[in-house]
Amino acid sequence: MDTGYLILETGDVFEGTMVGKNVSSTGEVVFNTSMTGYQEIMTDPSYTGQIITFCYPLIGNYGINHFDNESIGLHLSGAVISDLCTTPSHYLAIKSFAEHLANEGIPCLAGVDTRAIVKKIRKNGTMKGVISKTPSKHVPIGQDNLLVKKVSTHSVQQYEGSGPHIVLVDYGYKKSMLEALLKVGCKVSVVPYSTTFEEMQSLKPEGVMFSNGPGDPMMVSSMFQEVKKITENFPSLGICLGHQIIALAYGAKTSKLLFGHRGGNHPVKEIESGKVWMTPQNHGYVVTEDSINHEIFGVTYRNINDQSIEGLKHKKLPIVTVQFHPESHPGPSDTEHIFKEFLATVGKAGDLKYATTK
């Protein structure tokens, strides 16, 4: 295997061994603290355009299976790991970590001191980087294009069910989000991120879910007015990027975290009950505290580590948002009650004929 390098925009160079596809790739270098779940992480569309540094020192030990992909294909730009397991041991494994990357055309750098990379990111923030076969590769620095457009569906996809009709706005949704709705019998329509209020009305949903996704939420600013109309007329749940977009649609602002929240063990406090939930997270932006109109939204959850906002609830309309991932995969499922509460709200709103009398 060839020697490869990770070159950061700061000029720092980390040497390792090229595995996966032996090509160069550019992306935002981030780190994830999860101890397991590398297959779900690699297939999460929220990682589009990013090079993931895996903090856990051993990656690949249980291989890749047919069941844990969160979407079709891989979305990350590259991966950086410490120790690579080339002989996975699991009864469901069909291929190795390196084979999976190679098949999907994604480069990976193994044998790297990932702790040093994480320290650099924690000090300087996430930054652009290049995985390359030469240590002198130039790191292009610039604004990403609309990443959501790359991962969103281009047409309506429908899944039948006997329960309430939920429209899932696809900013880059995870399979587990869809499955959480189908498991309880919902009829689900997955729609493009650019779906307008009029198009939404024609689908006659009983509730709308705004999904996770990659990139800066301001890149979707052209849809804010449509999102506001949709949420004013249908019970709504926003998750991760969806949470940020709903907040922005109502006049709030977002800012970029220094190095983001990415991992399966982030503690979040529920304000009303005082309970602390362990949550999986994957985001680089947050809704800023002083931008929220507290006459419209109340803060429902806060991150224990940095006190950032993790959830909002509209004070008059059935709109709830959370920054974390209640569908888990990977990570704990402590907060799956979020879906149950949303569907209860949908049922109550249906009884009151909310969507037609608003």
Q: What is the largest CA-CA distance in the chain?
A: 65
Choosing from 100, 240, 310, 329, the catalytic residue is 240
Q: Which residues make Cβ contacts (< 8 Å) with residue 174, sequence separation at least 6? A: 40, 44, 45, 46, 70, 71, 211, 212, 325, 327, 329
Beta carbons of 14 and 80 less than 8 angstroms apart: yes
Which structure tokens are listed for 180?
Answer: 């959480």
Binding-site residues from annotation for L-glutamine: 46, 213, 215, 241, 244, 282, 284-285
Q: Which amino acid is at 16?
A: G
Which structure tokens are listed for 15?
Answer: 């040497």
Q: Per-residue DSSP letters for 242-306?
A: HHHHHHHHTT--EEEEEEEEEEEEEEEEETTT--EEEEEEEEEEEE-GGG--TTTEEEEEEETTT
Cis ω for the linkage preceding 217 (within 30 of 0): no
Clarify whether 325 is annotated catalytic. Answer: yes
Binding-site residues from annotation: 46, 213, 215, 241, 244, 282, 284-285
Choosing from 165, 261, 325, 329, the catalytic residue is 325
The alpha carbon of residue 275 and the mean position of all alpha carbons in its chain are separated, in whole angstroms, by 24
Clarify whether 99 is annotated catalytic. Answer: no
Clarify whether 314 is annotated catalytic. Answer: no
Q: Are strands 165-170 and 187-192 parallel, antiparallel or unpaired?
A: parallel
The kind and range of the H/E element at 224 are helix 224-233
Ramachandran quadrant class, 60 (left: phi over 0; alpha: psi -120 to 50; beta: rest): left
The residues annotated as belonging to the active site are: 240, 325, 327
